[in-house]
Structure 1
Amino acid sequence: MTDFLPRDTPVQLVDTTGAFSADPVYPTPAPDALVDGYRSLVIGRRVNDQCNALVRQGRLAVYPSSHGQEACQVAAVRVLDADDWLFPTYRDTVAVMLKGVAPAEATLMLKGDWHGGYDPHVHNVAPQATPLATQLLHAVGFAHAAVLKGESTVVLAMCGDGATSEGDFHEALNFAAVFHLPVVFFVQNNGFAISVPLSRQTAAESLAHKAIGYGMPGERVDGNDLAALLSVLGAAVDRARSGGGPTLVEAHTYRMQAHTNADDDTRYRDGSEVRAWADRDPLLRLRTHLRREGLLTEESEASFTEAADSIAATLRDALNTDAQLDPDDLFRFVYATRTPQLEEQSALLDGELRRTGQEAQA
């Protein structure tokens, strides 16, 4: 059981200065994986910036930024095969896009549309979940079904530190361990559950230590070190695929921006704390390392920036187009056969629309 205990300090391969240190357990990702990962980091940061701008323009209703957590977003997708499934949270829009979902579809829920915006089965991405930890139960159920069907699917379920305070989190881990399911629980510990710091959520030494109580291994990793994330999460996915069962991985990162645009984070945390984490930026860290190793050129950086700008432009253009709404959609998808009450409500709305249209013409 001692093998299930996480390390005293998070696994780190590339430190804040960009210097590399080999680990005796976790292998170093291949150079091309790090370069391609950096490209995704650049895209993720650009998407976060664009979405924040779209909120200010009124094109998005809300946006939970993952600025500063992009390494977690990238690694979560990179370690999965095409047939594996990702179960994201509301803050994991960048991961959803990197899994292949079109930017406009990935942000439709945040625009305030009436549905999730994308077909989960096209790219094996579950709908983004706003309620905390509910997606973990869905992920475990999906993994259980995959095992019963004899599939080799691995499920990676993402959540934040706040979700670990929900009962759903504990039920999901217990079920996954008892039935030995191929699930990786990936906790992005960014320091706060909205305004509540981790110290007010748990007295445990770390969130990864909770794993041993369920009979699964837990591991801690530097959540701003893409190299370490790829190695630790990759090992957890390999373990799950080979029949080793679930793993809990806690990534130590930080939420650099407010919880959402509706939040004033200055009311519960000091600016000096945020500035201190700016030096641990995952993009700057990996960029420094790749430059030092001669793996990143000015030309490649320019191409990455161009690709990121292109995605941002696609997203911007899509959300700047007003949707053509059909009022009857309010009633069309409630029941297969409309009830008398829905027919009455539909007729009432139709009459109101006709009346206002006639008044406008007059």
Structure 2
Amino acid sequence: MAKKSTYPVQLIQPDGRRVHDPEHAALVADVDGAQLRRLYRDMVVTRRLDTEATALQRQGELGLWPPLLGQEAAQVGSAHALHPDDYVFCSYREAAVAYCRGVDPAVLTRLWRGVSHHCWDPAAVNMTNPAIVVGSQGLHATGYAFAAHLEGAEIAVVTYFGDGATSQGDIAEAMGFAAGWAAPVVFFCQNNHWAISVPVRVQSATPIAQRAVGYGIPSVQVDGNDALAVLAVTRQATARARAGGGPSFIEAITYRMGPHTTADDPTRYRDAAELELWRRRDPIDRLRRLLEREQLWDSDFERSVAEDADDAGARLRAATRTLPDPEPEAMFDHVYATEHPLITAERRSVVEGARS
């Protein structure tokens, strides 16, 4: 991986044609038709899960949901590069990564419905739960990666965050420590152009990937709507980490086609023409066009993908609407690792209040 890229790596053009890039194409030379179809299937299924969760929030079934519409290639492409024993530290938008790591759609909304402190068991899939504090996961990932490095574990640790998080001190500190400790961590920035209502041009006067160069961390920009290119550069970065080469930084140039969360109204700050431009670069449409060009598309496959998406969406919806409400005192569970007198007193107050 070069110190920085002068252009985003791209292997599939928006019209589905392949790009002549021998260096990066070699990183995915083994990806055959079946694997391309799997990438497509996972992207369609996760879009359906995201659409279903967004609808559930609008219907009052969830308190909040952070949509990932438009970012499927960045998430699915990178997730397909990971090994089972690699570890992921996510932000709050990586439902597609979670799905690819094996998270059951039935548990994706537990936290967002407000009935649990978590969605899934991190130990079961080697991936943390959504991190609401912007940028904090970068420090957690660096510490975990450094500890794994000390223990001789040949794994890669990947931390996901958005362009807005790069304005947080946590990410800057994490890169400084990762560079100094040669931690096997991959910083994966999904540059979706908007940190809530602030455009990326206001956040950074230079490409975000160049910030990593100042820390001595190899960086690359990739077309985040190109699943194959994302897979290629993530394979390169994670292989470097597993081999003891230290940290890397990936800036995936993509676009948030929906709101920042369902509490946001992007029409108040975003021009409709900009959204339409990026709709024409839809990552799912792009991969479908490649499949069509290479005779990997047929009605049976299309039907099979639609059925999988329907099944996943129905599973998420049914599970969400039947999640049991927790007991009120459960809010005090797992606040501290050991008993704390203040928490004990507050728990007792809630329990006694419920009885009176």
Structure 1 residues 87-140: Cα deviation after superposition (integer angstroms, max 9, x where no partner): 111011221122111223232121123411222111100121111110000001
Q: Please, which of 11, 28, 38 is the counterpart of residue 40 of structure 2? A: 38
Residue 16 of structure 1 corresponds to 14
The residue correspondences of 1:188-203 to structure 2 (distance < 5 A) are 188-203=190-205
Structure 2 residue aligned with 1:70: 72
Deviations along 1:206-230, whole A, 9 cap, x unmatched? 1111121111211011000011111
CA distance in 2 between counterparts of 1:34 and 1:188 reads 22
1:332–1:167 Cα change, 3 Å = closer
Partner of 2:108: 106
Asked if 1:277 is matched to 2:275, the reply is: no
Name whichever of 323-332 and 47-56 sits farther off: 323-332
> Alpha carbons of 1:347 and 1:160: their partners in 2 closer, same or farther (altered >3 Å)?
closer
1:121 aligns with 123
**Greater CA radius of gyration, 1 or 2?**
1
The letter for the 2-side match of 1:12 is Q
| C-alpha distance in 1 between matches for 2:343 and 2:147 | 36
Pairwise CA distance, 1:246 = 1.1
Cα-to-partner distance string for 1:165-190 (whole Å, 9 max, x where unaligned)? 11111111111111112111110000
Give CA-to-partner distance per residue, 1:142-164, whole Å, 9 cap, x none: 00010111111100111100011
Q: Distance in 2 between matches of 1:57 and 1:110?
A: 13
For residues 213 and 343 of structure 1, what CA distance do their matches in structure 2 show?
47
In the alignment, the residues of structure 1 paired with residue 139 and residue 351 of structure 2 have an alpha-carbon distance, to the nearest angstrom, of 41
Contact 2:43 2:72 in 1 (8 A): yes
Q: Is the 8 A contact 1:93 1:107 kept in 2?
A: no
Q: 1:136 to 1:332 in 2, by over 3 A?
A: closer
Deviations 1:299-348 (A, max 9, x none): 11211111111111111111111414223324454564473x65655554
Aligned length, in residue pairs:
351
Distance 1:319 1:25, change over 3 A: same
Instruction: Name the structure 2 match of 1:243.
Output: 244
Counterpart of 1:218 in structure 2 is: 219
Rounded Cα–Cα distance in structure 2 between residues aligned with 1:300 and 1:260: 32
Q: Is the 8 A contact 1:76 1:156 kept in 2?
A: no
Residues 167/291 of structure 1: CA separation in 2 closer, same or farther (3 Å cut):
same
- TM norm structure 2: 0.94
Superposed CA deviations along residues 249-268 of structure 1, whole A, max 9, x for unmatched, are 10110000111111111111
Aligned counterpart, 2:310: 309
1:1-362 matched pairs, under 5 angstroms: 3-7=2-6, 9-27=7-25, 29=28, 30-31=31-32, 32-204=34-206, 206-331=207-332, 333-334=334-335, 336-337=338-339, 339=341, 345-355=346-356
- 2:290 and 2:333 map into 1 onto residues whose CA distance is 54
The alignment yields a C-alpha RMSD, in angstroms, of 1.8
User: Which 5+ residue runs of structure 1 have no aligned equivalent?
Assistant: 356-362
5+ residue gaps, structure 2, are none
CA contact (8 A) 1:90 1:128 kept: yes
Of all paired residues, the percent bearing the same amino acid is 42
